[in-house]
Chain A
Amino acid sequence: MPQNRPDRTLEVIIGHTLRIGVITAATLVLAGGVYYLAENAFAPVDYHTFHPAAKHSLDLSGIIRNALALNSLGIIQLGLLVLIATPILRVILSVVAFALERDFLYVVVTAIVLMILLYSILAKGT
């Protein structure tokens, strides 16, 4: 049986991507969160009722615009987008890593996962 373990390229690339993505996302969410709390610490919370498509559900350009305008919730949302992007990036990099290892069966397998993933995000996202 061929061994899986010496897949060092794959493991190192995926490990680093995850780490960088997670740190970036956490930094943005923390910054936005501290800012948000500074403004709203003593306001009462109310998440009992759901307001569909309220002001916090924006499209990509809206979120970036809000974050650039240093709106606290906008910064948090940008961090969340980075977080959501990390698993997608994980799949993209796996395709590359399998190609570097010349494991073409798994290039195909991973590319299929990537296509299904992008299909479901784009089909539902708009």
Chain B
Amino acid sequence: MSTLLFTILVWLGGGTAGLLGSLTGLGGGVVIIPLLTLVFGVDIHYALGASLISVIATSSGAASAYVREGYSNVRIAMFLEIATTIGAIVGASLTARLPPEIIAAIFGGVLILSSYLTSRRRGDDSDCIPDRLTAKLRMSGTYPTGDGEKAYHACNVLGGFGVMLIAGGLSGLLGIGSGAFKVLAMDQIMRLPFKVSTTTSNFMIGVTAAASAGIYLGNGYVQPALVMPVMLGVLPGSMLGSRVLRKWAVRPLRLVFTVTILAMGIEMIYNGFTGRF
């Protein structure tokens, strides 16, 4: 395949990744890694490097709109980011001690279970009484809906923080997949509105990914000629995604998310068994 054709195809793939990644809060890696490795036969190291850049591009491309419009909650993002980054550092340092196939299988199993749990949650209200910690950390706010601004607050802050520590650890071990747990912790445990959960995750994933940028660049995972069309596709895709999220109702967004993490879980188990990690 010529470089020109390859670049165009990967650019289109990047656009899809940015769109799906910004809609779900999962980042572009969900699409980029299987596309590059399975369809184009790209080495997994280069695919991971491209995925890292696609996550940062998705996050930065959509975050500007999400923050300005009042969907992302910067306080919740920063508080949980402490847990994710500490978890990721600990996880990355344990990589050599735990077999990646088993981690991948656990990770995949959790994702499949979570896709079931996500599909079951119907309401979008903060169904708890805010406790003292929520008030002290000011984890409340309003976000735009079809019927105007709607108030919300976080529940079970410590539970969310704990899940983020574990999630950060798992994703640090594998180098991918932190976005899924961010959305799940905010949606399922902290009972935040779905759009607040996905857009706040979208804000956070860029920061988490930037933390591993040093090692990826230093080891030569980021191949500039390969990453170029990925990034140039992801950016407009993610900006489009931020417009779609504003217009769509919660139900179809939740469905897209559910299907995506189900696919991710299956992919994770498959990769684990074929020794791709």
Interface positions of A (Cβ within 8 A of B):
1-5, 7, 10-12, 14-16, 18-19, 21-22, 25-26, 29-30, 32-33, 36-37, 40-45, 47-54, 56-57, 73, 76-77, 79-80, 83-84, 86-88, 90-91, 94, 103, 105-106, 109-110, 112-113, 116-117, 119-126
Chain A nearest CB: distance from B37 CB in Å? 10
Please classify how large the interface on chain B is, using the bins under 10, 10 to 19, 20 to 34, 35 or more.
35 or more
Q: Which of A18, A103, A126 contacts B138 (CB 8 A)?
A: A103
Interface positions of B (Cβ within 8 A of A):
1-4, 6-7, 36, 40-46, 53, 56-57, 59-61, 63-65, 67-68, 70, 73-75, 78-79, 81-82, 85-86, 88-89, 130, 135-138, 140-142, 149, 151, 153, 203, 206-207, 209-215, 217-220, 222-229, 231-232, 235
Instruction: Say whether A86 contacts B56, CB under 8 Å.
Output: yes
Instruction: Say whether A5 contacts B1, CB under 8 Å.
Output: no
A residues less than 8 Å from B1 (CB atoms): 44-45
Chain B nearest CB: distance from A8 CB in Å? 10
Instruction: Say whether B68 contacts A12, CB under 8 Å.
Output: yes
Instruction: Say whether A116 contacts B228, CB under 8 Å.
Output: no
Complex-state Cα separation, A30 to B81, whole angstroms: 31
A residues less than 8 Å from B67 (CB atoms): 11, 14-15, 18
Chain B nearest CB: distance from A23 CB in Å? 9
Q: A18-B63, A30-B232 are in contact. Are A3 and B141 (CB under 8 A)?
A: yes
Instruction: Say whether B3 contacts A45, CB under 8 Å.
Output: yes
Chain B nearest CB: distance from A107 CB in Å? 10
Q: A1-B130, A45-B3, A90-B207 are in contact. List 13 more A-B contacts (CB 8 A).
A: A5-B141, A15-B65, A22-B57, A44-B1, A47-B43, A56-B222, A73-B224, A87-B207, A91-B78, A105-B138, A121-B211, A125-B214, A126-B214
A residues less than 8 Å from B225 (CB atoms): 36, 40, 73, 76
Chain A nearest CB: distance from B46 CB in Å? 5
B residues less than 8 Å from A86 (CB atoms): 56, 60, 206
Q: Using a Cβ cutoff of 8 Å, how many contacts connect chains A and B?
A: 215
A residues less than 8 Å from B135 (CB atoms): 1
Chain A nearest CB: distance from B23 CB in Å? 18
Those 5 A-B pairs whose CB atoms lie nearest each other, nearest first: A125-B214, A4-B141, A57-B220, A87-B206, A124-B215
Closest to A73 in B: B224
Instruction: Say whether A121 contacts B60, CB under 8 Å.
Output: no
Q: A15-B64, A41-B4, A80-B231 are in contact. Are A10 and B210 (CB under 8 A)?
A: no
Closest to B206 in A: A87
B residues less than 8 Å from A53 (CB atoms): 218-220
Q: Which of B36, B41, B142, B213 contacts A5 (CB 8 A)?
A: B142
Most chain A CB within 10 A, of B64, B138, B220, B226, is at B64
Q: Which of B68, B212, B227 contacts A120 (CB 8 A)?
A: B212
A residues less than 8 Å from B7 (CB atoms): 33, 37
Complex-state Cα separation, A105 to B151, whole angstroms: 22
Complex-state Cα separation, A49 to B45, whole angstroms: 9
B residues less than 8 Å from A112 (CB atoms): 82
Complex-state Cα separation, A33 to B228, whole angstroms: 6
Instruction: Say whether A26 contacts B2, CB under 8 Å.
Output: no
Instruction: Say whether B218 contacts A125, CB under 8 Å.
Output: yes
Closest to A58 in B: B217
Instruction: Say whether B231 contacts A83, CB under 8 Å.
Output: yes
B residues less than 8 Å from A123 (CB atoms): 214
Instruction: Say whether B232 contacts A4, CB under 8 Å.
Output: no
Chain B nearest CB: distance from A24 CB in Å? 11
